[in-house]
Amino acid sequence: MTVFGNRRRPGRFLLLALTLCASVVTAQDGVAAPSPLPVSPVSPGGMLQVLLGLVAVLAAIAATAWLLRRFVPGQSGAGGMLRVIGGVMVGPKERLVLVELGETWLLLGVASGHVSALHTMPKPQGQSVQGGPATREAGFAAWLRRAKQGRGGEG
């Protein structure tokens, strides 16, 4: 054992010696000098730098997301050909969706983890799906009336 205690931790002795020296230096005529005001470790310039860095990182994330959506192959292949016409919920996790794919309408059954094609039909001629819900309902009612008349039913 040495005078300094444990040889593996000489930093403890050095810290103790510096603390004692600092207290002796600050004391004058037996009266301790007032301690200096605490200084904030964060300056306004440092906060501004952190804030600007955060804004730069968020802008880089947004720019990367935009670039990926714009230039990733495979995303733009069916962009103009595939369109959702409408849908209705038939259960808590099930719904029916009418999808237009080129000149074909598909009725899809969508459940949690499963999609199945229920019916396929050609796109009706003169069908205006661009309008609001009233136009869609009127168009569907007319189509249903024509379909019933075509099968020999009354309309």
Strand duo 82-89 + 104-111: pairing: unpaired
Alpha-carbon span 75 to 77, nearest angstrom: 6
For 4-33, write each residue's pLDDT tens digit. Answer: 555 556 666 666 666 766 665 555 555 555
Alpha-carbon span 97 to 110, nearest angstrom: 7
HSE (side-chain half, CA atoms, 13 Å) at 119: 7
CA angle at 23 for the pair 17 and 28, rounded to the nearest 5°: 140
Tell me the C-alpha to C-alpha distance, in Å, between residue 51 and each of 71, 134, 150.
Answer: 30, 50, 69
For residue 127, pLDDT over 80 is answered with no
Mean pLDDT in the chain?
A: 75
For 100-112, what is the mean pLDDT?
89
For residue 45, pLDDT over 90 is answered with no
Pick from 65, 43, 46: nearest CA to 54: 46
For 52-70, write each residue's pLDDT tens digit. Answer: 999 999 999 999 998 988 8
